[in-house]
Protein backbone atom coordinates (compact mmCIF):
# COMPACT_ATOMS: atom_id res chain seq x y z
CA UNK A 1 0.00 0.00 0.00
CA UNK A 2 2.95 2.34 0.38
CA UNK A 3 3.49 4.49 -2.67
CA UNK A 4 1.42 6.93 -4.71
CA UNK A 5 -1.73 7.91 -2.89
CA UNK A 6 -4.90 9.20 -4.51
CA UNK A 7 -6.18 12.48 -3.04
CA UNK A 8 -9.93 12.53 -2.38
CA UNK A 9 -11.95 15.54 -1.24
CA UNK A 10 -15.14 14.83 0.69
CA UNK A 11 -18.19 16.89 -0.25
CA UNK A 12 -21.72 16.96 1.15
CA UNK A 13 -23.98 18.55 3.70
CA UNK A 14 -22.29 19.20 7.03
CA UNK A 15 -25.42 17.85 8.75
CA UNK A 16 -23.90 14.42 8.06
CA UNK A 17 -20.85 14.83 10.31
CA UNK A 18 -20.81 11.19 11.41
CA UNK A 19 -20.90 10.00 7.79
CA UNK A 20 -18.00 12.35 6.95
CA UNK A 21 -15.92 10.86 9.79
CA UNK A 22 -16.74 7.29 8.74
CA UNK A 23 -15.95 7.97 5.05
CA UNK A 24 -12.67 9.67 5.97
CA UNK A 25 -11.66 6.66 8.06
CA UNK A 26 -12.66 4.10 5.40
CA UNK A 27 -11.01 5.94 2.51
CA UNK A 28 -7.84 6.56 4.53
CA UNK A 29 -7.57 2.88 5.42
CA UNK A 30 -7.96 2.09 1.71
CA UNK A 31 -4.74 4.08 1.13
CA UNK A 32 -6.03 7.52 0.13
CA UNK A 33 -5.19 11.01 1.29
CA UNK A 34 -8.53 12.48 2.37
CA UNK A 35 -9.37 16.18 2.48
CA UNK A 36 -12.52 17.06 4.41
CA UNK A 37 -14.48 20.11 5.48
CA UNK A 38 -12.99 22.39 8.12
CA UNK A 39 -16.19 23.08 10.05
CA UNK A 40 -19.58 21.40 10.37
CA UNK A 41 -22.02 24.32 10.31
CA UNK A 42 -25.13 22.15 10.31
CA UNK A 43 -23.74 20.03 13.15
CA UNK A 44 -22.95 22.72 15.70
CA UNK A 45 -19.98 24.77 14.45
CA UNK A 46 -21.76 28.11 14.74
CA UNK A 47 -18.70 30.08 13.57
CA UNK A 48 -19.74 29.17 10.01
CA UNK A 49 -22.67 31.56 10.22
CA UNK A 50 -20.69 34.73 11.01
CA UNK A 51 -20.62 37.32 8.22
CA UNK A 52 -18.55 36.24 5.24
CA UNK A 53 -17.39 32.95 6.75
CA UNK A 54 -19.68 30.57 4.82
CA UNK A 55 -18.71 32.20 1.53
CA UNK A 56 -15.02 31.88 2.41
CA UNK A 57 -15.43 28.22 3.41
CA UNK A 58 -17.35 27.42 0.20
CA UNK A 59 -14.58 29.00 -1.89
CA UNK A 60 -11.90 27.24 0.16
CA UNK A 61 -13.63 23.91 -0.37
CA UNK A 62 -13.49 24.44 -4.13
CA UNK A 63 -9.72 24.94 -3.80
CA UNK A 64 -9.64 21.60 -1.93
CA UNK A 65 -11.41 20.07 -4.94
CA UNK A 66 -8.72 21.60 -7.19
CA UNK A 67 -6.07 19.76 -5.13
CA UNK A 68 -7.88 16.41 -5.34
CA UNK A 69 -7.78 13.60 -7.86
CA UNK A 70 -11.49 12.96 -7.28
CA UNK A 71 -14.36 13.86 -4.97
CA UNK A 72 -16.47 11.61 -2.78
CA UNK A 73 -19.98 12.89 -2.10
CA UNK A 74 -21.56 12.20 1.29
CA UNK A 75 -25.19 11.97 0.14
CA UNK A 76 -26.96 10.27 3.04
CA UNK A 77 -30.48 9.30 1.99
CA UNK A 78 -29.68 10.66 -1.49
CA UNK A 79 -29.59 14.27 -0.20
CA UNK A 80 -27.46 16.72 -2.18
CA UNK A 81 -27.85 20.43 -1.39
CA UNK A 82 -27.07 23.44 -3.55
CA UNK A 83 -23.51 23.92 -2.23
CA UNK A 84 -22.71 20.29 -2.92
CA UNK A 85 -24.20 20.50 -6.42
CA UNK A 86 -21.85 23.41 -7.14
CA UNK A 87 -18.90 21.34 -5.86
CA UNK A 88 -19.92 18.44 -8.11
CA UNK A 89 -20.09 20.85 -11.06
CA UNK A 90 -16.63 22.17 -10.14
CA UNK A 91 -15.24 18.62 -10.18
CA UNK A 92 -16.96 17.79 -13.49
CA UNK A 93 -15.64 20.99 -15.10
CA UNK A 94 -12.07 19.85 -14.46
CA UNK A 95 -12.70 16.22 -15.42
CA UNK A 96 -12.36 14.85 -11.90
CA UNK A 97 -14.23 11.64 -11.09
CA UNK A 98 -17.15 11.92 -8.70
CA UNK A 99 -18.11 9.00 -6.45
CA UNK A 100 -21.06 8.84 -4.09
CA UNK A 101 -21.65 7.27 -0.68
CA UNK A 102 -25.10 6.23 -1.96
CA UNK A 103 -25.78 5.69 -5.65
Question: Residues 32-44: pLDDT tens digits?
Answer: 999 998 777 766 6
Domain-located, residue 79: no
Return the sign of the alpha-carbon dihedral for residues 30, 35, 88, 39. Answer: positive
In a domain, 37, yes or no: yes
Residue 83 lies in a domain: no
The model's pLDDT over 41-85, given as tens digits with 9 standing for 90+, comes to 766 667 767 788 878 888 888 999 999 999 999 999 999 999 899
In whole angstroms, what is the distance from residue 20 CA to residue 37 CA? 9
Is 13 inside a domain boundary?
A: yes
In a domain, 81, yes or no: no
The CATH number that applies at residue 45 is 3.40.50.450
DSSP label at residue 61:
H
Which pTM does this prediction carry? 0.89
**Domain of 61?**
6-74+88-100
In a domain, 94, yes or no: yes
- The number of folded domains in the chain is 1
Amino acid sequence: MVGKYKVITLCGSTRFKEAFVEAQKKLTLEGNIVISVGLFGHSGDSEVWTEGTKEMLDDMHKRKIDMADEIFVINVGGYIGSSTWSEIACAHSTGKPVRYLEE
